[in-house]
A and B are shown apart, each in its own frame.
Chain A
Amino acid sequence: MTAPAIEVRDLSKRFRVFREKPTSVKQRVLTSRARADEFWALRDVAFDVAAGSTFGLIGHNGSGKTTLLKCIAGILRPTSGRVLQRGRLAALLELGAGFHPELTGRENVYLNASFLGLSRKETDTAYDAIVDFAEIEDFMDNQVKFYSSGMLVRLGFAVAVHVDPEVLLVDEVLAVGDEAFQAKCIGRVRDFQREGRTIVLVTHALDTVREICDRAAMLHHGDLHALGHPDDVVREMRYVLLGVTDPGFVPEHGTREAEIAEVQLIRADGRGEGPVNLGEPLTIAIDVRMNEPVDDLDVDFAVLDGATNHPVLEARTSRAGTDLGRFEKKRVRFKIPVFPYAAGKYWVTIGLSDHRTGHLYHVQTQRYMFEVHEYPQVQERVEVPVEVEVEDL
């Protein structure tokens, strides 16, 4: 087995936050050091990144992802701990680093490429591919101050994806451009993977992590909160983002007096799988089994936007005035006449509880997922009345 490409050992980084940073001798003399607040951006973070693997790094804003990346890249010096890094490294922390508006696209490509570790000769070789990738061959001899911001981003990215390192650190830069361009970028990352390069990816796009990473880590307020398989780490991330403070992700919990037997997401044409078209109806059918007789059972669901993890739609039987009573098995259908939210992935959380005490019988957190596809349609309705129907089984 080859040595890991990156070894992070008990890495901590403390920033001093000056209320007013003393930047002159006078201020330095007059200001006591006590006025600096301390802030730990990273605390005892430790993990390995295996050579040739793709490692995803997630966490909410300010959790220390970028600081960690900068410590690995050697831009920041750790406060304690150490980083061992093997092989030629390129860090993409910003697109188009060093771009100057007065220079032409061509000149900026060479300047930027040298910052990413490409020699002039290597840039010569990659130049045509870079221009092809950016799709702006007609403008390469124009000064970039005349470029649109989209063109600038594409050019910056085109240079970035033609770097030739053994270890590549990518900070959030994949999230640029239109969908077609994004697909191209993901394709490029897959090429990198095939070529056996080590990639560390910082991103907010949790689905990207699940799709392309071999392992993932989640940072939470500077601590390494989760480390392992991307699916588990992403689930943990969603869990934390929902504001639940329990440590550790519990996909299912509850005392099980009542149980979720089966859940179906039924599309407009009766299918249980496949995409949901924008504006089409969606039915969430939940089969509930009662193991012990309980009163005041409440069945609820929440739909969460996969990109932001914000709940976008919620409903519960008690609020609709439906009393389920005691039963052995029942099917609850939440009928959403139109699903008007934007294209993307959505997670569904299902819960059974006592609507008087709030006691949880059974909760499945983000167990179900569906994807909304967009097709041309005039969007008129925003109000979404949800119908509830209960039948004996």
Chain B
Amino acid sequence: MTATSTTVERTSESPHFRARERFRDVYAHREILANLIRKELKVKYAASVLGAVWSILNPLVYLAVFTFVAKVLGAGIPDFPVYLLSGLLAWNLFSSSLTTGTSSVLDNANLVKKVAFPREILPLSVVGVALVDFVLQSVVLFIFILATYGFRWPELALWPLAFVTLVALTVALSLWLAAVNVRYRDVGHLLNIGLVVWFWATPIVYAEYQVQSLAQGGTGAFLGIDRFLLYLLNPLTDVVAGFHRALYGVVTPEGTTTPVLFDQSLAWLAGILAITLVVSLVALRFTWAYFFARSGDFAEEL
């Protein structure tokens, strides 16, 4: 047997949060994370003939349906299916991670009470499952765009930035909600209402430019903050705008008769996204620390 020098001390104090140490701990238990994600996916498609094809079918149906419905619904937005889907996929990742992630510790009460492993893995596995769906569906969207319109590269460079920001934001909020939900079961209900508001506060089904023109056309500021800036304070707006610019911006280049996207330069949007990413990472640092501090009591409170 190999001798290890690992010595663990357990006291009443909750251990000090060190991001790198926590990251290493979670990484050391990556098998559990991978297995949990695999389990969820297998359970999701157990006893279904098509399996993961269902995941891919979903955006295909969206594309097909909205190609027709857009004539009525998406008035003013050309190529509405691509506009809708490029934002909606990001939203789906975000909202499904938060909804399932919130109850992830509660749902696995039995594991938490009986097995010692980094609790972060539970919400992380939920985000992981949503990520698999997101990637599958994004591939469908990519192929559709590629086949129909072709790509322009400078805009596409925004995609990785938007993606990383989205993941950081999603993980940060999932960790926080999962930890709070152990003590206050209201969180789940509150979240459902919150997500409805959040969805409509994000330019997914309506054109970004509509908001910009409304905000800038109106009178002055709200609480001293520029109203357009206020709208951009919603981090998901920035993320979705990034995805729009990367994917939809290609399809319908700016300068068409009715502007759809924010009337701003690519660099401006990249800057906004970078700020959002930094804010998300800082948030992640704190929500993770909160989750870690609370996780010592999970087994007791469930």
Contacts and interface: CB of A to CB of B under 8 A. Distances in A.
B125 to A, nearest CB: 11
Contacts of B29: 114
Given A23-B183, A115-B111, A15 B31 contact: no
Given A24-B184, A91-B116, A166 B4 contact: yes
Nearest to A145: B46
Interface stretch (B9-17, B199-207, B219-227): B9-17
Interface string A111-138: 1001100111000000000000000000
| Chain A interface extent, by class | 35 or more
Nearest to A164: B1
Given A93-B115, A107-B42, A120-B31, A84 B7 contact: yes
Interface string B107-124: 000111111110000000
A107 B41 CA distance: 12
B254 interface: no
B116 A74 contact: yes
A91 B115 CA distance: 7
A81 to B, nearest CB: 7
B35 A114 contact: yes
Nearest to A196: B1
B39 A100 contact: yes
Nearest to B189: A24
A164 B184 CA distance: 38
A24 B185 contact: yes
A102 interface: yes
Contacts of A75: 112-116, 299
Interface string B89-111: 00000000000000000000011
B297 interface: yes
A266 to B, nearest CB: 49
B10 A77 contact: yes
B267 interface: no
Nearest to B43: A102
B21 interface: no
A100 B29 CA distance: 19
Given A71-B10, A77-B297, A24 B186 contact: yes
A79 B14 CA distance: 11
Contacts of B114: 75, 93-94, 97
15 contacts: A75-B113, A75-B114, A75-B115, A79-B12, A84-B8, A85-B7, A88-B6, A93-B115, A97-B115, A98-B36, A100-B43, A111-B39, A115-B32, A118-B31, A166-B1
9 smallest A-B Cβ distances: which pairs?
A114-B31, A77-B296, A94-B114, A102-B46, A82-B11, A83-B10, A93-B114, A111-B35, A23-B185
